[in-house]
Amino acid sequence: MSNNDQWITIRVAEAREHHPLVTEAVSARIGPLLNGELSERTLPPTRLTAVAKALIADMALAPPKAEATQ
Amino acid sequence: MRIKSIQLEWFRGAADPVTLEPDCKSLVVYGANGSGKSSFVDAVEYVLSDGKIGHLSNEYSGRHQEKAVPNTHKPKARKASLRIKFKDDSELKTEINENGSFTSTGAEAVAMGTWDYRRTVLRQDEVSRFIHDTKGNKYSALLPLLGLDQMEVAAENLRQLARSIENESKLKERRIILTQIGETRKTAFGTHSDDQILKTIEDLHTKYCADKAATKDPLSRCKELETAVNMRMARSSADQRRHFILQAAAELNLKAHGDAVRAASMKLASAMEPLIAEKLDVLLKTVAFVDKLGDAKEVKCPACGRSISTDDFQAHVTAERERLQEIIDTFNERKTAIGILCHTVNSLKDNLGKADVKSWRDEVATGVLADNFAYMDGLNAEALRASCGDENQTALEGKLLPLIAAAVSASKDAPPDAQALSTAKRTTEAGKDVIAAKDQAATAALAEALVGFINSLEQGVRKEIRLRSQTVIDEISADIQTMWATLHPGQAIENVGLYLSEDADKAIDIRLRFYGVEQDSPRLTLSEGYRNSLGLCIFLAMAKREADKDRPLFLDDIVVSLDRNHRGMIQELLVKEFSGRQVVVLTHDREWYTELRQQLDTKCWGFKVLLPYETPDIGIRWSHKTTTFGDARAQVLARPDSAGNDARKIMDVELALIADRLQIRLPYLRADKNDKRMAHEFLERFIADGKTCFKKKGETEYSVHTDAIDAWGEADRLLISWANRASHTFDLVGPEATKLIDACEKALDFFKCSSCGMGVSLAKADKWFQCQCGQIRW
């Protein structure tokens, strides 16, 4: 992506403004992701799932029981 | 990276090796139709498009175009091949196998395969393609130029990530559960607030759990209440227990759950039109297929059998998956509804199978209801889960609803204390669900927020793309406008450029102002010729964005639909905007070629002429001359009169351009006759003026170039007698045509210096024109 990644910080802040429940941990994770692998190639479903799980954990969301036992 | 040479061997029209040698300069190639000039452009496209040539994509050319790419007369032992040599002397070698597959080696640093075809080559049939293309395809064509493809990837990944979060957090399921709890709450508590519900639970807790007054947590209170109420129920009389059970059976809403299954089934049926079924079938095949693709560049679609690029194929599968997501959701919805129905059936079986209601069953199980009880006892709910068709459901409702009605009827005369206990149990269960749902709701809200955040971020990235695109598009538009103004000076079509469509993402179109009226598309007003002209401007404006890459441009027969004035302006455009770029112009327009040859700076431009094509065995051949007499010579045997005519036409154009350069004065003629002067008129003037003006350098001083004047005289005589005969009586014979062509060629050669090879066209201190070395002077 662009050398100047200031815009990412701005867009993340904007999105968070609209969704105040989103935690700082999520913001901290998504910025580098957006500047890195999310921009580099179309991610395969397995990788997207892993990123989704990490973000859910950052939100401190209790995963449903069925998933927790997996 | 500039190109030194392109060599073809048994590739398309080529037979034995034939080489186009721009030698890193720009080049104009003239060739009559079918002479093979496009074979060189095909070679470039073959390399840029990974072994595919767009205009050969048809059902007859074979999977790898093996029936179209090699020369039809290629000997078995030979291979079709091409070699492209670059400025740094690296060379790309490509050999094509019998089955059309190919191997390429060399020139790794140049990585020509990464060049974008759409910004390297412009062919006659592609000139207005951009204009006619969809807004989305226009956007795709521009995307690499915008330099924002990574941002597009990011936006798409964010979109998919939001879906993954929805799936992983089971958001849809949570929403369904919360909706169900909302219904339960409404039934049990009406419009009561959370505080009122807690108060109700507190009161019940005080009543039934007096010994546990210390418990304050609402959920714990519910659990204690549940235990206490169940214990009381268990300790009740047989009559009361019968009432509890019948009450529970009576409350089962089998009808509503059955209707839910029916509604979901109908929704699914309407979506399962044959087309959708077909798509599902294709999807099932392709999903499995995609997983096995690995690094393959191309794949044969299992549905239609066509060869397509792996990227396109995967994008197609993703799009299909998304389109079918709604159906998958409906499947799940129906599955959930069937699950609830099965659970209700099991509850009914459990309740009405209990020993406490045996006496009631014996009492009512007469006549029809006896059959109903027998049906219920024999019912396998799990089998129902697997096949819950409309017929099964009708039978189920027909048999079980009368049993529930009987339970409702029997539960009406329940003693008040039994009714109170039943109500307490029901209220407790509902209260427990409502209180527990608070956590569910909070979790769902967090998941919703996360999904919403990712969606907002995607929109933010798209907004950023739009902002940046606008900047680049404005720059490209300014170039288009400049180029358009060069091609069409003083014309009332202005403000030509690109714009981002307001009504769709990833969409670009072309606007212009037509005689003061703003137009959203050139297709509304522009003629075909103007569209082609605009298409050329757009191609060149986009190519200009990559000036720093110093890649060559190939313009193949792009002036076909342009008139003489606009054609002439293209030369100005190339000089003005692309003097620092390698441009290969291929044309079958002899007049335009001659104009370019006369007007373009030979320091930067080379000129080559292809001989007319004879047979595939002979292949593509170059003329040794830069003039186009080869066309005329090719016709000497079969059509000598045509050969003579061609010679005269060549002389008309060549002499007109030389006269223009040397500022020869001719009497004014009315209307457009000035533009249609014949070779004879020019030669007459050259001979007359040349006797004093055209000089050749001797040992020490200049003297009149008598050899030239003699040659012009000879050509003029033959043109008057034989070319006129060729035109009017068609009785020119072969030897005469040959002599005429030779004389014309010789006459023209005298305008070029035999020492330096340059024409007598350089202005020298406003006094005379001379060649590069000064050997000849006018």
* DSSP tally for chain B: helices H, then strands E: 25, 20
What confidence category does residue B274 fall into, taking pLDDT thresholds of 50, 70 and 90? low
pLDDT of residue B311: 67
Residue B675 pLDDT greater than 80, yes or no = no
Distance CA B124, CA B33 (A): 13
Which of B438, B451, B457 to mutate: most A Cβ within 10 Å?
A: B457
Which positions in chain B touch A63 (Cβ < 8 Å)?
168-169
Whether pLDDT at B201 is above 90: yes
B309 touches chain A (CB under 8 A): no
Q: Which of A2, A37, A38, A69 to mutate to test the interface with B (most CBs of B within 10 A)?
A: A38
Contact A11 B457 (CB under 8 A): yes
The answer to whether B314 touches B290, Cβ cutoff 8 Å, is yes
B148 touching A, CB under 8 A?
no
Q: How far is B542 from chain A (nearest CA, A)?
A: 21
Mutate to test the interface with A, among B149, B163, B168 (most CBs of A within 10 A): B168
Query: What is the model's pLDDT at position B276?
Result: 61
Q: Is the pLDDT of residue B198 over 90?
A: yes
The backbone torsions φ and ψ at residue B615, rounded to the nearest 5 degrees and listed phi first, read: -140, 160
Closest residue of A to B467, CA-based?
A7
Report pLDDT digits (tens) over B305-364: 666 767 677 667 766 666 666 777 777 778 888 888 898 999 999 999 998 888 888 888
Least CA distance to A32: which residue of chain B?
B154
Residue B166 has pLDDT above 70, yes or no: yes
**C-alpha dihedral (B173, B176, B177, B183), degrees to nearest 10:** 180
Q: How far is B168 from chain A (nearest CA, A)?
A: 7
Note the pLDDT of residue B727.
Answer: 67
What is the average per-residue pLDDT within B238-248? 86
**Average pLDDT over every residue of B61-71:** 87
pLDDT value for A69? 35
Nearest beta carbon to residue A56 from set B151, B154, B165: B165
Identify the pLDDT of residue B199: 94
Buried/exposed code over B625-663 (b: 16+ C-beta within 10 A; e: otherwise):
bbbbbbbbbbbbeebbbbbbbbbbbbbbbbbbbbbebbe
Interface of chain A toward chain B, CB-CB under 8 angstroms: 1, 7, 11-12, 14-16, 18-22, 26, 30, 34, 38-43, 45, 48-49, 51-53, 55-56, 59-64, 67
The answer to whether the complex's ipTM is over 0.90 is no
**How many other CB atoms sit within 10 Å of the CB of residue B711?**
21
> Residue B47 pLDDT > 70, yes or no?
yes
Average pLDDT for residues B293-301, to the nearest whole number?
Answer: 65
User: Confidence band (pLDDT; 50, 70, 90) for B281?
Assistant: low
Q: Looking at residue B615, what is its pLDDT?
A: 92
- Give the chain A residue whose CA is nearest to the CA of B160: A48
Q: How far apart are CA B7 and CA B47, in angstroms?
A: 13
pLDDT over 90 percentage in chain A? 57
Rg (CA), chain A: 14
Q: Per the CB < 8 Å rule, is B154 touching A61?
A: no
Mutation target for A interface from B152, B167, B169: give the one with most A CBs within 10 A: B169
**SS3 sequence of B592-615:** HHHHHHHHCCCCCEEEEEECCCCC
Q: Given a cut of 60, is residue B374 above it in pLDDT?
A: yes
Residue B157 — very low, low, confident or very high, per pLDDT cuts 50/70/90?
very high
- pLDDT, tens digit, for every residue of B592-651? 898 888 888 888 899 999 988 989 999 999 987 777 888 888 889 888 988 998 898 889
What local confidence, expressed as pLDDT, does residue B239 receive? 84
pLDDT for residue A56: 94
Six-digit token string for B745: 């060629």
pLDDT, position B454: 97
Average pLDDT score over chain B: 86
At residue B522, the pLDDT reads: 87
Mean per-residue pLDDT, B163-181: 89
Q: Convert the pLDDT of each residue in B118-142 to its tens digit.
A: 888 888 888 888 888 888 888 877 7
> Measured between alpha carbons, how far is B65 from B60 in angstroms, rounded to an integer?
8
Residue B378 scores a pLDDT above 80: yes
- Name the CA radius of gyration of chain B, rounded: 43
Contact: B449, A7; criterion CB under 8 Å: no
Q: Given B158, B173, B450, which is nearest A38 (Cβ)?
A: B158
Does the pLDDT value for residue B292 go beyond 80?
A: no
* Residue of B443, B450, B452 with shortest CB distance to A62: B443
Return the pLDDT at B743.
94
The number of residues making up chain A comes to 70
Q: Is the pLDDT of residue B390 over 50?
A: yes
Angle at B445 between CA B443 and CA B446, to 5 degrees: 65
Mind telling me how many Å the CA of B142 is from chain A's nearest CA? 18
Nearest chain A Cα distance for residue B456, angstroms: 5
Would you state the pLDDT for residue B290?
67
Asked if B471 is an interface residue toward chain A (Cβ–Cβ < 8 A), one would say no
* Identity of the residue in A15, A20, A62 whose CB atom sits nearest the CB atom of B457: A15
Which DSSP letter does residue A43 get?
P
pLDDT classification of A3: cutoffs 50, 70, 90: very low
Of B150, B450, B460, the CB nearest to A1: B150
B452 vs A contacts (CB less than 8 Å)? 18-19
Residue in B156, B443, B463 closest to A61 by CB: B443
- pLDDT tens readout for residues B487-522: 888 778 888 888 888 777 778 889 899 988 988 888
| Per-residue CA distances from B601 to B476, B582, B607, B720 (Å) | 27, 13, 11, 33
Q: How far is B577 from chain A (nearest CA, A)?
A: 29
Higher pLDDT, B717 or B391: B717
Q: Which residue among B165, B446, B459 places its CB closest to the CB of A52?
A: B165
Query: Is some CB atom of chain A closer than 8 A to the CB atom of B150?
Result: yes
Answer whether B176 touches A (CB < 8 Å).
Answer: no
Contacts of A16 in chain B (CB under 8 A): 453
Chain A contact for B561 (CB, 8 A cutoff): no
State yes or no: pLDDT of B445 exceeds 50: yes
pLDDT at position B545, please? 83
Does the beta carbon of B447 lie under 8 angstroms from any beta carbon of chain A?
yes
